[in-house]
Amino acid sequence: MRTALFLLLLLAVAAIPGSLVPQRGVDAQALERYQIQHPTLAPILDNLGFFSVYSSPWFSSVYLLLMVSLVGCILPRTLVYYRALRARPPKAPRNLERLPESRRWETDADLDEVVAHARKVLGRGRARVDVVDTEVRAESGYLREAGNLVFHVCLVIVLVSVAAGGLLGYRGSAIVVDEGGGFSNDLTQYDEFSAGALFDTDRLPPFSLTLDDFRARFQLTGPQRGAPREFEALGRYTSRPGEPERPFDIQVNHPLNIDGTSVFIVGQGYAPVIKVTDGDGNVAFDGAVPFLPEDGTYTSTGVVKVPDAVPEQLGFQGFFLPTAISTGDDSAPISAFPGAANPNLGLFAYYGNLGLDEGDPQSVFILDKDDLTQMTDTDGAPFRINLSQGQVTDLPDGRGTVEFVGLRQFVKFQFSASPGLQVPLWATSIGVLGLILSLGIRPRRTWLRARREGTRTVVEVAGLDRVSRGDLGADIDEIVRELQDEHPVAANDGPDATSTDKSIDDQHEDARS
């Protein structure tokens, strides 16, 4: 058990890096930004597996050792519990007065009557009771260890099912622009994708969806002004080609389920519609470009790549402000609210070779500037494009124009499938019930011994808690009180009578005096 607890703590510590640094397959853009910002540290962390913590060898080793330790803890305890279930309550100690709580009194009642009544009283609460001669033995709390074992078995089930779901499942994300943007569940459609070692990507469910509208509502007033209040994606989907379309309405914590794949909203932002004409006056690019939010006011950054422009390829990098306001000086405007009240597009322009023809994969959110030259004004300063919706600007040296045509929104969907997802939920629920049993039930042994001395019956009652608790004395007093109600304490015959011949209430009164 100590080993299992140590490994459980070690597993929690090993999971910490997964929350501190971006994880591969979870947020590719954040990982790329981290690698650019930390060019020296990032390769070291990558070699150590810090960007894939939960699939790293060292994390998996701790995970497997914890499972082995739990199984090694459960099996012997199960055998011990099985033997305990078959055992009978043990014989009473020779001297009951040495136990933590004991009581003694004398009564005029018949010996057999006292024993019979004691068997009934001590047998309450599902206690196991044996009567041997004039001795009553009772033991309760057998379900405590059962609850403990159930909890540990459920913990193993959770670990195994989570591992199985990771091996057999997949998860990915994709950005879809509203007003007719679509997604097909094909590997080439994902912006980020990761799958378990046993998952076959050829078995992806062949569903597709179309995003017709996205609604975002933000707090307008008060101290939480700008806080998101509602995200809702509306559209249509088909489970497989040829089937009729069905409507969907995805909200936060209300995903769409298609053939075992859950579709969640994990992000949203704006996609300015940008039109670029080249130096020959031809439209080289015309479409919505997602800009990724950087803060709570949705100040967003993005890249536009125009490989078909002539005479040279064009690239743009900049920011988008949903509600742009001026700071009153020569510095750049800022966004004051995440809603699109005054959209503004700011870009820097480049020309040259985008590097798309070399065959190396590129992120659509990063502009490779190795073979690009930045456009400048006549005075040599970087050429800045600052457009409101509907405005057009000319590029230097007759290289074309850029127009901010309109504004659309995009949604970042997460697609995830984990077989047997309900198993950890049920195992956790049952395990919690087992834990409640193990914490709430206290195993206890109680004995009563009666013997005949002269014309009276001497009764001794004692109890022993196998787990420390504070109410043993009160429970023994309650048992004694019930027995004395049926078989009263014998009257004192002389001055030599001791306090043990008094009722339990009289003994407590003497103690207070």
Q: Tell me the pLDDT tens digit for each residue of 410-426.
A: 999 999 998 888 899 99
Residue 452 lies in a domain: yes
Pair (393, 490) in one structural domain: no
Note whether 347 and 469 are same-domain residues.
no
Residue 432: Cβ within 10 Å count: 13
Least confident of 101-105, 158-162, 455-459, 502-506: 502-506
User: Which pLDDT score, from 0 to 100, does residue 504 have?
Assistant: 56
Same-domain status, 280 and 308:
yes
Tokens of 359: 């065959």
Domain that holds residue 447: 89-141+442-512
Could you tell me if 73 and 101 lie in one domain? no
With a cut of 90, say whether residue 509 has pLDDT above it. no
Domain end residue (candidates: 63, 87, 111) = 87
Q: 165: closest CA among 412, 427, 459, 488?
A: 427
- 127 in a structural domain: yes
Q: What pLDDT was estimated at residue 195?
A: 85
In a domain, 390, yes or no: yes
For the chain, first and last CA: distance in Å? 48
176 within a domain of the structure (yes/no): no
C-beta atoms surrounding 497 within 10 Å: 13
Q: Is residue 231 part of a domain?
A: no
Check: pTM over 0.85? Answer yes or no: no
pLDDT computed for residue 23 by the predictor: 83
Phi, psi of 178 (to 5 degrees): -75, -175
DSSP H or E stretch at residue 428: helix 422-440
CA 42 to chain centre: 27
45, 94: one domain: no
Spatial CA neighbour of 1 closest among 72, 106, 62 = 72
In this structure, are 98 and 10 located in the same domain? no
Q: What is the per-residue pLDDT across 164-198, written as a single tens digit (0 to 9) for each? A: 888 888 988 899 999 889 999 999 899 888 888 88
Whether 416 is in a domain gets the answer no
Together in a domain, 360 and 293: yes
Ramachandran angles phi, psi of 129, nearest 5°: -125, 135
* Domain stops at, among 367, 389, 410: 410
| Residue 465: CATH number of its domain | 3.30.310.80
Based on the fold, state whether residues 458 and 508 are members of the same structural domain: yes
pLDDT at 101 over 80: yes
Kindly state whether residues 294 and 398 are assigned to the same domain. Answer: yes
Number of domains comprising the chain: 3
Instruction: Examine the fold and report which residue of 66, 87, 108 is the final residue of a domain before the chain moves on.
Output: 87
> Which tokens belong to 32?
């790329």
Q: Which two tokens stand for residue 31?
A: 């990982």
In this structure, the strands spanning 456-465 and 324-325 are unpaired
Q: How far apart are CA 480 and CA 501, in angstroms?
A: 12
**Considering the domain boundaries, does residue 506 fall inside one?**
yes
The answer to whether residues 399 and 276 belong to one domain is: yes
Residues 371 and 295 grouped into a single domain: yes
Q: State yes or no: pLDDT of 513 exceeds 80.
A: no
Same domain, 286 and 364: yes
Helix (H), strand (E) at residue 301: strand 300-306
Instruction: Name the residue with tokens 């004692």.
Output: 462
- Name the average pLDDT for the chain: 88
Q: Tokens in use for 156?
A: 């193993």
Is residue 455 a part of any domain in this protein? yes
* pLDDT tens-digit map of 333-392: 889 999 999 999 999 999 999 988 776 667 788 888 888 999 999 888 999 999 999 999
For residue 351, give both structure tokens.
Answer: 């020309």
Asked whether the predicted pLDDT for residue 503 surpasses 60, the reply is no
